[in-house]
Amino acid sequence: MIDLRGYFDKYGSEIMIFAAMVICAGGLWGFIEVVDEVYESDTQPMEEKILQTFRDPEDPAAMRGPDWLRKTVQSISATGNSTVLILVVLVTCGYLFISGNHKAMWTVLITVCGGAFLVFALKGLFDRPRPDIVPHLAEVTTASFPSGHAAISTIVYATLGAVVCRVLPTHTLRIYTIAVAATMAFLIGCSRVLVGVHYPTDVLGGWMLGLAWAAACWLVVLYLQRRGMVESEDDSEGKKVREP
């Protein structure tokens, strides 16, 4: 029988590099494909029907289903706004700073800030109008493509998940952490379609862009780890919060 634990312990670094390369390439390819669909506008009629599907035919300003569902969707959507994500990042960076993981802290800040800048630059470049087929259930002020909530939440939760995984003792906990991060990004993206402020391709493009950027940054981190410029996993595990 193959000793999977021993195999991962021995080749873990190479496996992470390969996985990051696959995710980065797949995310970039997916984003380019979505951009092509957006420019051709082939999917827009179908996307408008999807938006209408979730609304009451007699009152398009109301979502189908009970009122608690609308409130839940709006609450999930709000967890992807800039204020919440900034607080999450600041709290995490505060912990990393106090625990002495300064390079990991800078990794998180640079990845998230760089990703946010990229997203808003692309919004300005594509300048896709917001869908107007149904009334919006959330306030919006920027262009539609790519979805900032989907892209930046993917970047934030993927990056934080990767940082947390470096100090977790078991593979089961690491898988659970990645699953939670992926679920958060998925729910936030879906909620933006349900509140009527994004086309599905906006969200799909945001997910793809977020994955590609987060994976690319993680590849840089792995490279810097090999050169000793960023704490390795073993170094991170050995660092404890300093008592005053």
How buried is residue 4: exposed, middle or buried, by Cβ count under 10 Å (0-12/13-18/19+)?
exposed
Residue 136 annotated as catalytic: no
With H, G, I as helix, E, B as strand and everything else as coil, classify residue 51. Answer: helix
79 burial via Cβ count (<10 Å: 0-12, 13-18, 19+): middle
Q: 57: cis peptide before it, omega within 30°?
A: no
The closest alpha carbon to 197, from 85, 116, 77, belongs to: 77
Residues 200/38, Cβ–Cβ less than 8 Å: no
* Cβ–Cβ under 8 Å, residues 123 and 161: no
How far are the Cα atoms of 32, 146, 228, 242 from residue 125, in angstroms, in the given order? 14, 10, 38, 46
The residue behind tokens 């977020």 is: 210
Residue in 102, 136, 171, 198 annotated catalytic: 198
The yes-or-no answer on residue 149 being catalytic is yes
What residue type is 178 in one-letter code? I
Evaluate whether 54 touches 63 at the Cβ level (below 8 Å).
yes
Q: At 199, which amino acid appears?
A: Y
Which residue in the list 102, 136, 149, 171 is annotated as catalytic?
149
By annotation, the residues acting in catalysis are: 149, 198
